[in-house]
Amino acid sequence: MKLTFYNTASRSKQEFVPMVEGHVSLYCCGPTVYNYAHIGNLRTYIFEDLLRRTLEFNGYKVKHVMNITDVGHMTTDADAGEDKMEVAARRENRSPLEIARFYEEAFFLDTQRLNILRPNTAPRATEHIVQMIELIGRLEQNGLTYQTPEGVYFDTALFENYGKMARLNLSGQRTERDEVISDDSKRNPSDFMLWFLNKPHHLMQWSSPWGPGYPGWHIECSAMSMQYLGETFDIHCGGIDHIPVHHTNEIAQSEGATHHPFVNYWMHGEFLLMNKEKISKSKGGSINTLQSLVDAGYDPMTYRYFCLQAHYRGELNFSLDALDAAASGLRKIYALSEADDPLANKEDEFQAEHKRLLEILNDDLSISQVIGQLHSIGSRRLWLEFDQVLGLQIEEHSRRAEEPLPQSVQDLITLRNTARSNRNWAESDAIRDQIIAMGFDVLDGPQGTQVKRKLLEEAVR
Ligand code: AMP
Ligand code: ZN
């Protein structure tokens, strides 16, 4: 079936045609592992997971590569400031490598809890320095670089299409990038660092043809994507903040070296906002990581579902009220029973609905619309089918309801029923609270105490 994606490069929806029939090469910019991912970052990874799952649902074999940035990402996306890894190392009194491995593991724990599929390959920048040096060498040979005491720069004025994807107006450019220029010998405001030199205090250093130093952030993604996916590949993703600087520079470096197109489809996820502001790892209230949501009593699936209810190209406002609403919607999905399925034994209708929903999904990943339709149809079987894309673990959660109650709970039920028949309300209430505290729902029905397993963690506010 036809698949259509909004391509940032053309600013329009285009039919997706992969380079090799049946196969998709997909590169997603990965985390800078200097801190826990914030829930805004995680929104972007949920969008990319939706993309990958949609491709696989359509029968494509996907090769998914996501880098781990463990050196060279400065505190501004342009080159000014300090390496985030080294700032974190000082903050936590650990080596940059310890910081990197610790937060990489934390990142994959978060993505696993959100049921985000692990990339096929997750290359680390520090393990691909050779490829980066080689790529910078090619750019040098093509005459696109110059050297100052600060490092080796890419000369953006010499690359004809610089800023085309982002539609940058370079002549009138007085961007934040100008304001943070720390190097007077830089030729153009938009020139960027390929290899930092003369930074004796930087802990991570490698030797290179230009002298000891470390790579710039942008060259990492060009080197690693080309290493694993080839010099031209199908889809490149990231958050929309990457359009004007990071992805613009990736294109310049890659095409400047190879002289052919780098990426066929650019896809960007919009931001998650908190109180209408951008979330950042350094800024933000007490709730800005997945763990902080879990600590507040939310199941990670609630956050995943919350994100899927919005289109990836629209801003999304985060609030606990919105998260509570998502939890109650999700509880309804988990509570659907096979016995009440309106499409049970209606194979033709099931297939027709399946096709209709897939068409909606394939129109630039309109998963929020699919969710709306699934709610109104109310078919558990159809939800389960689309859970291959939704990734809400519907089967696992709803199966919980059918598991037998532990003996300790059954004993409490017997005690409570006795207390109730003796009209001992105080004891009955106390036992009810005890059962609830053990993580169950308690209802009083005509047959006495009814206890059910919770289908989803509940946040108490
Ligand atoms: P970083 O670890 O800072 O390199 O960011 C990882 C990913 O999260 C990148 O694709 C960013 O574009 C994306 N990102 C950063 N902030 C947000 C946000 N508030 N909402 C959604 N995505 C974001
Ligand atoms: Zn990148």
30 lines ligand 1 (CB under 6 A): no
Q: Is residue 120 part of a domain?
A: yes
333 lines ligand 1 (CB under 6 A): no
Q: Which token pair is 323? A: 């998260």
29 lines ligand 1 (CB under 6 A): yes
Alpha carbon 267 to chain centroid, angstroms = 13
Domain shared by 14 and 99, yes or no: yes
**C-alpha of residue 228 to centroid of ligand 1, in Å:** 22
Domain shared by 194 and 129, yes or no: yes
Domain shared by 254 and 296, yes or no: no
**Strands 233-239 and 23-28, bridge-based pairing:** parallel
Domain shared by 346 and 398, yes or no: yes
| CATH number of the domain within which 151 lies | 3.40.50.620
* Ligand 1 atom closest to residue 278's alpha carbon, by position in its atom list: 19
pLDDT tens digits in sequence order for the chain, 461 residues long: 999 999 999 999 999 999 999 999 999 999 999 999 999 999 999 999 999 999 999 999 999 999 999 987 877 777 777 888 888 888 888 888 999 999 999 999 999 999 999 999 999 999 999 999 999 999 999 999 999 999 999 999 999 999 999 988 876 554 444 444 567 789 999 999 999 999 888 888 999 999 999 999 999 999 999 999 999 999 999 999 999 999 999 999 999 999 999 999 999 999 999 876 555 554 445 789 999 999 999 999 999 999 999 999 999 999 999 999 999 999 999 999 888 899 999 999 999 999 999 999 999 999 999 999 999 999 999 999 999 999 999 999 988 877 889 999 999 999 999 999 999 999 999 999 999 888 888 888 777 888 888 888 877 76
Q: Is residue 297 part of a domain?
A: yes
Ligand 1 atom 12: the closest Cα is on which residue?
239
Q: In a mutational test of the pocket of ligand 1, which residue from 32, 33, 41, 220 has the highest number of ligand atoms less than 8 Å from its CB?
A: 41
Domain shared by 199 and 296, yes or no: no
Ligand 1 atom 14: the closest Cα is on which residue?
41
**C-alpha of residue 429 to centroid of ligand 2, in Å:** 56
CA distance 62 to 55: 7
Q: pTM, whole model, 2 decimals? A: 0.92
Q: In the prediction, which pLDDT does 446 show?
A: 77
Domain shared by 266 and 369, yes or no: no
Q: Is residue 164 part of a domain?
A: yes
Q: In the prediction, which pLDDT does 292 show?
A: 93
Q: Is residue 326 part of a domain?
A: yes
Q: Is residue 459 part of a domain?
A: no
**C-alpha of residue 230 to centroid of ligand 2, in Å:** 15
Q: Is residue 340 part of a domain?
A: yes
**C-alpha of residue 338 to centroid of ligand 1, in Å:** 39
Q: In the prediction, which pLDDT does 445 show?
A: 79
Domain shared by 192 and 332, yes or no: no
Q: In the prediction, which pLDDT does 416 show?
A: 94
* Ligand 1 atom closest to residue 271's alpha carbon, by position in its atom list: 20
CA distance 72 to 100: 12
Domain shared by 77 and 201, yes or no: yes
Task: Give the dihedral of Cα atoms 359, 365, 367, 370; nearest 10 deg.
Answer: -10
Number of domains in the chain: 3
151 lines ligand 1 (CB under 6 A): no
**C-alpha of residue 428 to centroid of ligand 1, in Å:** 50
Q: In the prediction, which pLDDT does 188 show?
A: 93
Domain shared by 380 and 433, yes or no: no
Pick from 242, 273, 304: which residue ends a domain? 273
| DSSP helix/strand/coil, 266 | strand
pLDDT tens per residue, range 285-325: 578 999 999 999 999 999 999 999 999 999 999 999 999 99
Q: How many CA atoms lie within 13 A of 172 on its CB side?
A: 3
Domain shared by 374 and 420, yes or no: no
Q: In the prediction, which pLDDT does 182 show?
A: 61
**C-alpha of residue 387 to centroid of ligand 1, in Å:** 25
CA distance 47 to 129: 29
**C-alpha of residue 360 to centroid of ligand 1, in Å:** 27
* Ligand 1 atom closest to residue 272's alpha carbon, by position in its atom list: 20
Cβ pair 278, 40 in contact under 8 A: yes
Domain shared by 170 and 308, yes or no: no
Domain shared by 113 and 133, yes or no: yes
Q: Is residue 147 part of a domain?
A: yes
279 lines ligand 1 (CB under 6 A): yes
Q: Is residue 22 part of a domain?
A: yes
Pick from 245, 273, 301: which residue ends a domain? 273
Ligand 1 atom 19: the closest Cα is on which residue?
40
Task: Give the dihedral of Cα atoms 13, 17, 22, 26; nearest 10 deg.
Answer: -60
- For 390, the domain range is 283-402
43 lines ligand 1 (CB under 6 A): yes
pLDDT tens per residue, range 135-167: 999 999 999 999 999 999 999 999 999 999 998
